[in-house]
Amino acid sequence: MLTLYGIYRSRATRNIWLLAELGASYRFVPVIQGYRLADPAAKDAPLNTTSPAFLAISPAGAVPVLDDDGFVLSESLAINLYLARKFGGALAPSDAQEDARMQQWAFYGVSAIEGPALEISYAYARGEDAAEAGRAVIAAAAQKLQRPFKVLEAYLAKSPHMVGDRFTVADINMAEMVRYAQAHMALMDAFPALKGWLAACQARPAFKAMWEKRATEPA
C-alpha cells in the first residue's frame, strides 16, 4: 500500500501528478507545513511537519514523504524516480543510460533552478512585485536562472522531451521546478522552447487534475 504524506501547496504536487499519470492508487495523508500554522504545537493543530507523529515518520520534518509498505522515502525528486522505476512503463527509464540522464536532470534542476525559481514564486505570491525591493529580489533570482534556462532552451529547441522520445518522469520533475518561475512572464518569454515545453506538460490531464485540486486548498 502506497501512502503519500503532504499537501497540495508543497512539492508533493510533483508526486501527485506522477501518481495520476501512472494510474496508481494510494492513500493521501494531509500534512501541512508547521510554519504555516499560528501554533503548530496546539492540541487541535492539524498534522504538520513539526508534529511528533510526523517526525517519527520523517525526522527531516518536511513533506512530501512516501511510505511504500514500510519503505519510507523523503525527497520529492527521489520519490518520483523511485515510483517511475517501481511502476515501469513509458514514464520510467528504459535502461541505465536513461536512468542516469533522469538523475542528471533532477540534480541539475534542484541545484541550479529550484531555489531561484522558488524565490520568484514566493515574491509574486506575496505581491512583492508591487514594490521596488520585491522587484529587485525577482530580478536577482531571474538573473540566476539565465544560465540554466539557456541550457534548457538549447536542449528543448531540439527535443520535445527531457529524456528519450516520450514524456517521462524527467519532464514532470523539471516542469515542477521551472513552474515556480512561471509568474515571471518576461523571463519565460525570453525562452520560447522552454515555455512551449512547459505549456505542453501542463496541458496533460494529470497535471490539470492536480492543479484544480491544488486551487481548492487555502493559500
Contacting residues toward ligand GSH, per CB under 6 A: 10-11, 33-35, 49, 61-64, 75-77
Q: What would you measure as the largest C-alpha separation in the chain, in angstroms?
A: 55
Question: Least CB distance from residue 118 to ligand GSH, whole Å?
Answer: 9
Question: Least CB distance from residue 174 to ligand GSH, whole Å?
Answer: 13
Q: Which residue has the cell 517511475?
A: 84
Q: Which is nearer to ligand GSH, 60 or 154 (CB)?
A: 60
Q: Which is nearer to ligand GSH, 74 or 94 (CB)?
A: 74
| Category of 14 on φ-ψ map: left (φ > 0), alpha (ψ -120 to 50) or beta | alpha
Cβ 121 vs Cβ 97: under 8 Å: no
Q: Which is nearer to ligand GSH, 4 or 91 (CB)?
A: 4
Q: Which is nearer to ligand GSH, 121 or 168 (CB)?
A: 121
Q: Is the peptide bond prior to 64 cis by the omega test (within 30 degrees of 0)?
A: yes
- Residue whose C-alpha is closest to residue 192's, from 159, 142, 156: 156
Question: Least CB distance from residue 49 to ligand GSH, whole Å?
Answer: 4
